[in-house]
Every structure is written in C-alpha cells, then in structure tokens.
Chain A
C-alpha cells in the first residue's frame, strides 16, 4: 500500500504541474483529495491492515495528502497571479489618447484688466463706483470745468442724443455724481470703470467705444505728492517691482496741476526701442489735482478739501500687457482671440 500511495503522490505531482488553469487544478484537487479520491480509497482499506502496518500506512497517507494539498495551493497561487497578470495585460490602454475635455471659457481681456486694477485699488481702500453711459451735458462736461464752447471740448468728439444728452466721452462724470452723494464730506476714494464713446473712425488704434477707469481721491490735505505715492504703489503692483515711473506736466480741464504718468518701457528696460518710440517711456495715464471748480460743483469746499484724479484707458493697458496690436480685436469676439485668455 505504501507503494500505491507513493505512486498516487507521483501521479498527482505530474497532474498538478500539468494543470494550466484554476479549473483543471480544481479537477486535480477533487480527483486526488476528494472524498471519492484514490487516497481516501486507500485509507478506507486500512482496516484490513495489521496493527503494525496501520500507523505506518496512515502516516504515509497523511504525508502524501498534505504534500499534494500543498502543491495544489502553491499552484493555485501561481495560477491566480497569472490570471491577474493576464487580466491587467488585457486591460492595458493607450494613456496618450486625449482626455475628455472639461469646458473652460475665457475671461475677456478687458474684464481681466479691469478686475486686476479694481483689486489693486480696493486693496488700497478704494470703492468701485459706476454711472450711466448716457449722460447729461452737465455731468460729462460742465461739472468737470468744461462749459459750453470751451475749446477743450474739441479734444473729445461727442455722440449727442439731444443737445443736453450724450454718450459719455469719459468716466469722469462719475466723479461729480459720487461727490454729490458724499454731500461735501470726505474722504472720497473711488475708481470707476466703464464704457465710453467718442466719434472716432474705428481703426487699429481708434475705437468709437472703449473703456476707461477713472479714479478720485478727495479729502482734507491731499497733496500732489500723495498722487505720486499712490502711483508708485499702483505701478509696482500692476506693472512690476522693477518698473520706474515719472510724471510729466499735461493739461486736462478738470485737474490742475495736471500730469501724465509714464512708466519705463518693458520691452527695452528704458533704453529706448520701437515700442516706446525711442524714449524709454510708455505713457499710461492722465492725472492731476482736482480743479477747484470741479470740487465746488461736486459740493466740496475747495478751501478745505483737495484731491487728485486719474483716468486710464483699459484697452491701452490690455494692449501693452498682452502685446495686442489692433484695438478692434476687443470687440470682434473672434473665438481665436478670446480663447487665448482662458488662463487669465
């Protein structure tokens, strides 16, 4: 019987080795270790054995059984691993295929510039004020020290609706409207972004509609040096720490003294190049101390209060920032233009 058991063992070893998948391995398990299997058969026949032989054969039978059991388990692990490997191999994909796109819309570059500037100024304690785009002659001109027939009205060609109503040519009327709301009491610290309109033929550098951001600070004891200080902070946050600025005398009817703000050219670092027409400077905005007539018409006593105001062109800022060469792009809404600003 011992030979028989050894024979069975050797046979099982071969069968296990031959099993190529879990099913056939299971068959091997059943045929050798199952209740009707040959080892069990041998063990059933042990009753006929002598007392001396019985423990020997019993031990051998257990040994064979355990050995086969172990072999099957080992084989089973191997086969399971192979099955997993096979599944993984089958499930392999081309990771370079395009992913499912998540829609992303673009912020209009004018919005980007306005919001950036709003954030800088609100951080400095400014509020954002708005006003109507169809204005009265009074708010757009007269309250800004531009009486009827004033020569400086020629600087701005106006779309009139009636002799007294017009499309605002600047965001400055919001100055007077805001001052009126403050009823002669400072401080006033506002910026006013918005659309403005002028009778210009549309071309690469002119647009009959464009955007401005106006700024106004009114309080007791505001000095021109404060204007310079605030511009320094603004220039550094908007244009960058390394940019230099200078103020240059200019003229606006609603400010006096008036100044243009120049910022050192980013293209050449101030050396002079085509972008800055060789001057090393880029003109970025107009500003000045609020004219006493403007304070008066806004309800502030110019003997007590003073202030400064500034105005900038949003398109110009955007053109400088992104290198856009034609102002009409802002209003054409070509998606090949817009989608370049998705990350802004």
Chain B
C-alpha cells in the first residue's frame, strides 16, 4: 500500500510529524514502512506555464516552437517535441536554471537554430512512474485539466510537494489497505483524532428501485448488495487533485467515474464498481454462482471460464462482473456513458479468494475482499462515491440504494483480565493504562474489577481472541517498554543427542582428511539419478515443479556432488574432494501417498590428486584405496566395524567397486565411477562413496575399556606367499587370523608383487604376523607350533606357497 502523506493528513492531524517520523512510529508499533519516498525530490524552478502560441519548427518536423506565458511580463520561447503540445494549454515548465529528478539541469539551448528557454515536461520527466501516468499523457507532455495561473509553482498542484510511505503490510492488517485504516493506526500511534469524510448527497425525487431490482441468489457469499442509480453523468477527465492523489497512491487515472470508485476504494478500503447502465442489458441485477464452464470477458479483455465456486453479477442472463474481482467488458464505463449503476457490496473472502486463485487475477478489489472488508463501511463507501460523482461528474443520484442485506455488522466483544495481559507480557501496567491504549485505537473499553470489557470495531477483522488484545496493548505500549527477564523454568539439560554428536564427528574427521563440505539441492531429476538407479524406480516428485531440473527429491547424494566436481573442473579446479551429509528420500509407492522414508546419507566424491608436494616430486592421485582409507578411518573414529566385499553397481566400474559392510550390515558402496558415467558428468577418473548412516548414528555408544600393555615380548614373523591372483587379501588375512589363534596378536599386509620372478597368474603377498602371549614369554617352540598351523591352513585353503627366495 502506497500512502500519500498529504492525503492521509486529511483524516489525521500530522502537524509536527515529518513523514520520516511517521514512518518510524508506524514501524515501531506494528505497521512496517518499507520506504519513504519524497515526490518531486530534486525538482527546482518548475512553474505552470500557458502555451500562448505553438508554431511548427521551421527546420524540424517533430518540433514545435512555443511561446509560453510563465507569469512574467514577457513570455519565453520553448522548443517542444511532444506530439500533444497545443496553444491554450496549461503545462508544467522547467525553467532555465531549474533541475529535474536525477539532477538534470535545464539550460538555455538552441534546437535546430531556435532558442529554447526551458522545457515543457511530461509526467515521467517529473519522476512519475510510467504505469501511473494517464494513458492520454503517456506519450507526451502533461496538460493541466483546469487552467492554473501562469507562474505558479507547479510542484504543489502536481502533488510533487508530497511524500509517499510504502507500507509493508502483514496479512492480518488488511484494515490498513485504506487511508482511513491507516489514519486510525496513525492516530492511535500518535494519540490524535481521526476525521471521517462526510458524504453529502442531494438526492433526486426518483428512487433507484423504480429503475432496477436486485436479486441475490447466493446470500452465503453475498450478504450485502447495494445498487445506486446515478443519471446524467458526464464522463470526463478528473480534476487534478484527484488525479495526483491516485498517482501518488500508485493508481493510474482513467476518467472521473472510475477514478472516484478507485479513490473511495483507497479511502475506505471498500471496492466499488460502476456499471454503464445503458449497456447493462436489463433492469435486474442477479447475483448468483457461475455455472460450470460459463464464460465471460472481463474488462481487461480476457475471456474467463468460470465454475460454480465463483460468484458473478449478472443482468439475469449473462455475467456482467466477476464479483469482487473484476467488471465485465460489455458494461464498462466509457466516455459516452450517462447513466450509472453504482455497486457497493460485501463479498465473502472465500469466494473471492477462490476466483482469484483459479483464474489467476489479483485486482485492487480482490485483494481487499479476500481479507474481509469492514461490514460497517460498505454502504457508506457507496454514499461517499455517489456524492463525489454528483459533485465531480454532474450526475443526479437517485434516492435510496436498492439493497439486499443480511450482513452481520455486530462488533465483537471480548473480556480480558488485566492480570493476564501483564502475566503474558511480563509487564506491570494498570488496567486504566491498558484501557487508555485500547481507546487510542478507538476500541470500546469498560473496565470493571480488573477485567477489560472490550468492543472491537468491525474494521479490525483480525481481532478475535484474547492474545489479539494482548498484542494490541503490547504494540501500542511499545515493545521497548516490556522488561527484560529470564524464564522462571526448572533448569533443563541442554545438549546434542548421540546421533547429532556423531554427525559433528563425521564432519570434523572428513574436514581433517582434507575434504570440503558441500551442501546441494534436495530437488533433482530422475534423469540425473538414472546413472545410478533405474528411472522406473518410484520416487517422490513435486506436483508443480518450477523447472524440470528441480522436479523430484533425491534418492542419492552422488549426482549433485558430481555436478559440483564438474562445476569446479570447468573452472580449472581439478583436485577436488567433497563430502555431503544430508537427507535422501525413498518411497516404495509409485503414486506417493505417505511421507517417504528420509534417510541420512553421507557421500563423498574424489577426483584429481589426493596429495601433491610438487617441488619434492610427490604426487598421489586419488585411487580406490585412498577413498577406502578415508572410510576406514572414519568408521574407526565412530568405533564401528567395517568390511568391504567386491560388488557391482550401476554407474560404477565393475572391477573397482565394493559394498561397504558396517557392523555386519551392508550400508553403502565405494568405487570408481564407470568411465561412461564420468564422461556424462564431464569428469576424469573419479571415485565415490555413499553410506547410509541411520543405523550407525543410532548405534549404542561403545565405551573405551583399557587393556593392560603386554608385559612379555611379542615375536614377529614375516611371510611372503605366492597365490593365485584371484585370491583376495581379505581371504588370506582371514585364514591367518583364524588359524593363528590364540597367539596371533595382529597381522598386516606389507607387500604385494606381481610380475618378474612370479609365475603368470600368480601374485606374491607378504604379511607381517605378530605373536604374543599375555601370560608368559613365548618360546621358539610355542611360536613354531602355531606358525606351522598358519602356513598349513594357508596352503590348504588358499593354495598359498611360501615364496622361494
């Protein structure tokens, strides 16, 4: 809502209150002012001029040479390029030495040989936005609709001495979508009076009901409909004060009748509609639900298809207006209209809301009806408009509007205990102070024994329960005056859950390993994920995606991480490893009806060099074992058991992929991207890991138990085994661990060799074994016995031979 300071001051005394101060006070008490814009800022030396003569420029087709009376003895010559300039006009003249918005300085100039001492201005040149400039003047200069004394400062009549406050209204404060509403608010905040306009109509003897009937067939949506006949209207341009008031409020002037309905809409917050009665098509107004698929053309020229949930005004045959939203094209007021039917009605928010949503129209009218207008202002707004039409368009207003009226205009009564207000706010106000605050808002208040009996004016549709009253008291009293205390609650044990702590440990570990944390979008496409899963698998899609790219929820974190690697690669950042910890969304339903399963996944993507230290010649590209090492380290950090089993997965290299088994449950995958997949993401050799963390995060915390340091020396034995290439390291290690009991303390692979000196199809794997007895010193015989068993088992189970030196 754009609020003209000048216009507002007709209803509330703003003397001594600058627009900036007003903005601050409103903001601090609940109506936020987003911006304060001084109209005419920077304009100097702008006067009204009268075009005395207007001749064609001798050397330029599109220019005219005008003699303009600017209130001085001699007129000045101004060359003007506007197509609509003509003799006899009153116009705005920027004089030599003056300035226009944006700092443009007016200089004496010669245009094609003709002296020009000033500039005749268009409204846009004076800082008005194109969308509020009357169409008539949008391509040329502005012409005053009435004659103004030449030489007068033009800023005042053009409304350029005004300041506009831009309200950022919260949805509950639709009462401030009007000057009167804003005036009540300003008056309450400033503790001043409100002055209401007083419509004065000289009614004719004829009565509206003699010319038109009103039938409302949908009372549930239209409890009040008032129609006033105004005859013999002269449609023309509005007086300047009305045009400038509308323009300051962001509305484009059109003609006096439409401008008046818009003016009253802004003033009262009550939308009105004027029909050209001669083209209405009958003498009967019928308000009814639209028929399914009924069509009508609204005055914006669009054909609309309606449904039974929309309300229409009809002439008994066809719709002439979409109730509360927009008038129809065929009864729109035009310059030739003479007899008007002025509608002032109450349409229920739900039907207007529905029409607005279904048809995608939002008008100044619908945004007010959808929030609920003041039932006590509907009829008076009609009167106000009728009186203005009578005054400004010369019509005869017929007596008594024809009405359909079942509208409830009762004011809400609420009883609120002063103690409860104090208890809720932590304040110590007296009941009298509270009453005073509410009275400033023009609420009725009677206080009895600490209870406030509050009568809420109907303009405040947002007030319905006790906390609403508490809020009104609090905001006018001032949030600044509420004391500062701390909750009087028993102390609570704050902190993170085990799972939350583990997530932090995961992040810390991976950061420590040199990986950056990524955060990517949850919305993705089936197609991107098709590299890793079937496009046919059920997934959770949004019903109206904003773009194809963000149409369904991710089931894996990997594709967006790969996109991030690709983004970096395109910027010559080749060595990147990222991880992401976030939710994925799984469903078993083809047509989703239930909340999907949200799982916490951890994914990593690695490409390029893992470590580089170039001048010492060290370069270690990422490989499978780098990623595996990170996973092993992470799971050790989380005290989980992990093993890896060779696996094949869509999108991954079939020979370089493993299933990750955490605490004996398959919980993820690790592997190299399939070269085709890498290519699809424009990546070089890239490795990924993805783990389902849910079980791990919930697993019981294992306590650390200290184990005494052995008091007896251990015995180390290294063995080099020759086995078939197909035998895995894990198999050999498993055999050693099993057969080395009970003395084997630890075993690890320390060398792997294939090639020269080893038979084709074979490999050499060297293990270091440590034997330990925690009770005594091991003898050579003790070790030989168990070591022999180990070697036997290796030979039997894996065909492993000790390598001959």
Contact = CB atoms under 8 A, between A and B. Distances in A.
Interface of A: 97-98, 100-101, 103-108, 110-111, 115, 118, 121-128, 130, 132-136, 149, 151-152, 154-155, 159-162, 165, 167, 186-187, 189, 195, 197, 199, 201, 208-209, 217, 219-226, 228-230, 232-233, 246-251, 256-259, 289, 291-292, 306, 330-336, 338-339
B481 to A, nearest CB: 10
B15 interface: no
Given A105-B511, A123-B494, A197 B423 contact: no
Nearest to B20: A278
A118 B424 contact: no
Contact of A256 (B471, B518, B568, B615): B471
Interface string B576-605: 111100110100000011111010000000
B553 A225 contact: no
Contacts, number: 254
B618 interface: yes
B763 interface: no
Contact of B515 (A105, A155, A331): A105
B487 A122 contact: no
Contacts of B424: 223-224, 289, 306
B543 interface: yes
Nearest to B596: A134
Nearest to B540: A161
Interface string B407-431: 0000000000000000111110000
A125 B470 contact: no
Contacts of B522: 133, 167, 195, 197, 209
Given A111-B519, A127-B492, A228-B484, 8 more contacts: A108-B517, A127-B493, A128-B496, A197-B523, A221-B423, A257-B425, A292-B467, A330-B519
Interface in B536-574: 540-546, 550, 553, 561, 564, 567-568, 571, 573
Given A189-B494, A335-B568, A229 B172 contact: no
Contacts of B475: 249, 257
A97 to B, nearest CB: 6
Contact of A226 (B486, B493, B571): B486
Contact of A187 (B489, B541, B576): B489
A257 B564 CA distance: 44
A250 B479 CA distance: 11
Interface in B500-514: 500, 504, 507, 510-514
B774 interface: no
Nearest to B169: A251
Interface of B: 27-30, 32, 170-173, 349-350, 353, 370-371, 423-427, 465-468, 470-471, 474-475, 479-480, 482-497, 500, 504, 507, 510-523, 540-546, 550, 553, 561, 564, 567-568, 571, 573, 576-579, 582-583, 585, 592-596, 598, 611-613, 615-616, 618
A225 B303 CA distance: 55
A245 to B, nearest CB: 10
A257 B471 contact: yes
22 contacts: A103-B611, A106-B516, A115-B504, A125-B493, A134-B540, A152-B172, A160-B544, A167-B523, A208-B521, A221-B489, A223-B485, A224-B474, A225-B482, A229-B486, A249-B30, A250-B170, A256-B471, A257-B470, A258-B471, A291-B467, A292-B466, A333-B578
A21 B178 CA distance: 106
B504 A161 contact: no
B568 to A, nearest CB: 5
A336 B571 contact: yes
A103 B482 contact: no
Contacts of A219: 487, 489
A264 B561 CA distance: 38
A110 B616 CA distance: 37
Contacts of B517: 105-108, 111, 338
Contact of B482 (A110, A111, A201, A224): A224
Nearest to A166: B542
B425 A104 contact: no
B271 to A, nearest CB: 16
Contacts of A230: 486-487
Contact of A222 (B487, B577, B582): B487
Contact of B425 (A123, A159, A225, A336): A225
B515 to A, nearest CB: 4
B41 to A, nearest CB: 15
Contacts of B583: 133, 195
Given A132-B598, A151-B171, A161-B592, A105 B485 contact: no
Nearest to B173: A251
Contacts of A123: 494
Nearest to A224: B425
Nearest to B468: A256
- Listed from nearest, the 9 A-B pairs whose CB atoms lie closest are A103-B514, A225-B426, A251-B170, A223-B426, A249-B30, A257-B471, A333-B564, A105-B511, A249-B475
Most chain A CB inside 10 Å of its own CB: which residue of B28, B494, B579, B598:
B494
Contacts of A225: 425-427, 482-485
A165 B593 CA distance: 8
B613 A201 contact: no
A105 B519 contact: no
| Interface hub of B173, B490, B497, B543 (most chain A Cβ within 10 A) | B543
Contacts of B576: 335
A14 B513 CA distance: 65
B467 A161 contact: no
Nearest to A126: B494
A188 to B, nearest CB: 9
A336 B615 contact: no
B568 A249 contact: no
B595 A135 contact: yes
Given A133-B598, A161-B540, A331 B519 contact: yes
B546 A208 contact: yes
B159 to A, nearest CB: 25
Contacts of B173: 251
A316 B373 CA distance: 36
Contact of A335 (B171, B353, B486, B516): B516
Nearest to B28: A248
Nearest to B350: A149
B470 A134 contact: no
Among A108, A249, A330, residue most surrounded by chain B Cβ atoms (within 10 Å)? A249
Given A189-B489, A250-B32, A251-B170, A134 B553 contact: yes
B494 A122 contact: yes
B516 A105 contact: yes
B607 to A, nearest CB: 11
Contacts of A105: 510-517, 577, 579
Given A105-B515, A162-B592, A333-B518, A118 B496 contact: yes
Given A152-B171, A199-B546, A104 B511 contact: yes
A224 B353 CA distance: 34
B567 A334 contact: yes
A221 B349 CA distance: 37
Nearest to B425: A224
B520 A333 contact: yes
A105 B515 CA distance: 4
A219 to B, nearest CB: 4
B540 A229 contact: no
A122 B520 contact: no
B61 to A, nearest CB: 45
Contacts of B543: 160-162
